[in-house]
Structure 1
Amino acid sequence: MADINISDDNFRKFREFFYRKTGIQFEESKRYFVDKRLLERIEKTGSETFRHYFTMLRFDATGVELQALVNLMTINETYFFREDYQFDCLVNSILPEIVADKIDDTPIRIWILPSSSGEEAYSIAMCLLERWPGISQWDVELISSDIDTKILAQARAALYTPRSVQHVPRAYLQKYFQPVGLNYQLGDDLRDAVEFTHVNLMDATDVMPYRNFDVIFCRNLLIYFDDLSRKQAAETFFDALLPGGFICLGHSESMSRISPLYKARQFPEAIVNQKVLEQK
């Protein structure tokens, strides 16, 4: 590891830069985490000082170094069927309401972000196949996005540890996975059901193509944002959703404290947020 001291002033400069690029705000309590990964990239790029590295980072037109740093700084910890009461809500309450109001036969579109290593998107795919009778009548598009290119590659590879699959129902595990040594390989049919894409939620150019979604799952991402970034994300989701579309957040997140663009809906399984049709 490079023998370079990252001063308090340098930490603040980097924190502000990273926030502007990603919307992610690092608190002082994350100082050791951030410093360690910064030093790793300083050493990897052969930079002699933080100033040299930071200058290179800011003026790298290719964005390659920023992406490498993003891949290091983002946290990807998840497992299959996490907070699965929302998946029950999706198949039992949300989707029946959506199809009842549909006036055409366009596919139902679901956007999942951050994708992390794919467990959430693949869990939704299994729930649709196993728990939603409407899957035989409706086409569904599942798109899962992340800012971390390395984790997206892992999601597409779909090879999982025993810990990741510990909450997968045994029947699903036998049906959709194959043992590979001590790990589990997801089958091609389910892997092909999800499209994984690279998206920076704070980049207007990145998110522009993402439109006409019926449902968005964005769980445990906004906790890493500050109020301004959360508001920007809420507006991005509003533009991405169809009228009356739904967004599912993590259990500790609340859209009511972020934006008036949504109303809370109480379903038997969960409280979710719905795009407000008209602003008063």
Structure 2
Amino acid sequence: MTEPTISDEDFTKFREFFYRKTGIQFDSGKRYFVDKRLLERMAATDNQAFRSYFTMLRFQASGEELQHLTNLMTVNETYFFREEYQFDCLVNSILPDLVAQKNHDGPFRIWVIPSSSGEEAYSIAIFLLERWADLNHYDVEIIASDIDTRILAQARAGLYSERSVSQMPDFYVKKYFKRVTGGLQLIDDIRSSVDFTQVNLSDRADTRPYRNFDVVFCRNLLIYFDDISRKAAAETFYDALRPGGFICLGHSESMSRISALYRVRKFPEAIVYQKPIE
């Protein structure tokens, strides 16, 4: 029996389908990566031909196989205190600016998307505890979302390797982690401070409940989107933010090249983007 293969036509069909579902677009340079994962899932589902697998993928009522494949296709590369200057900006500039707006009821709400394996959201929680002097005067909610169900389970477990914490001061590692079989686990107080949820950023039904956020961290995701998907994401975040709220992107991303909805704010620590105060 010959080994199944992915033809150029198959790749094009899958790429267009996956883009419609997730907003993520694979160019020809990702061909080996995509083919390998498609063949893996074809074998796991006992499909010898791409055509039969693709039919199942499109029409399976539960969407279970699409979720399995999405988990494989998404990249989750992160570590604690990555691009730390933005966390400095959060506690030194963004939150004080929000306090000064004096139009705030309820807790400050921070949305981290994608959550990946949780390092970014947990880093924010630790920064707030250690470096925001006004934390005792305000409640803060941190919600972290991802399309990948497998990585969300990993994030909730809060179990990490030495590599994940290599950029953290040793003092913080000793204070907020305990050594367990398999690595380092965050203490319960930090793990319980973040609410992890599954969200497909390209699905309006998924994102519609996400409203009244003060800060959004969406770092190093939009680089995987094309211009149309980036613009749609910018509009989604605009709807999710309160007037006067802020969005932080990755160092190689610029909202100014995506959407005119936001105002550029140049703080001492970082450039961020603000939803205008109406």
Task: Report the CA distance between 1:81 and its aligned residue.
Answer: 0.1
Equivalence map 1:1-280=2 (5 Å) = 3-181=3-181, 183-277=183-277
- The normalised TM-score by structure 1 is 0.97
How many residues end up aligned between the 2 structures? 277
Task: Report the CA distance between 1:153 and its aligned residue.
Answer: 0.3
Task: Report the CA distance between 1:263 and its aligned residue.
Answer: 1.4
- Matched position secondary structure for 1:106: coil
Task: Report the CA distance between 1:182 and its aligned residue.
Answer: 6.1
Task: Report the CA distance between 1:100 and its aligned residue.
Answer: 1.6
What code does the residue aligned with 2:17 have? F
- Structure 1, residues 164-185: CA drift from partner, whole Å, max 9, x if none? 0001111111111001246211
- Matched position secondary structure for 1:164: helix
- Counterpart contact for 1:162–1:182, Cα < 8 Å: no
* Distance of 2:3 and 2:140 partners within structure 1: 52
Paired-residue identity, %? 70
- Structure 1, residues 195-241: CA drift from partner, whole Å, max 9, x if none? 00000000010000000000000000000000000000000000000
What code does the residue aligned with 2:30 have? K
What code does the residue aligned with 2:74 have? T
* Distance of 2:244 and 2:99 partners within structure 1: 12
What code does the residue aligned with 2:145 have? S
What code does the residue aligned with 2:158 have? A
Task: Report the CA distance between 1:103 and its aligned residue.
Answer: 3.2
Task: Report the CA distance between 1:155 and its aligned residue.
Answer: 0.1
Q: RMSD value over aligned CA atoms?
A: 1.0
Provide structure 1 residue ranges, at least 5 long, that are not aligned to the other structure: none
* Distance of 1:259 and 1:143 partners within structure 2: 24
What code does the residue aligned with 1:202 have? S
- The normalised TM-score by structure 2 is 0.98
* Distance of 2:104 and 2:263 partners within structure 1: 25
What code does the residue aligned with 1:247 have? I
What code does the residue aligned with 1:150 have? R
- Matched position secondary structure for 1:265: strand
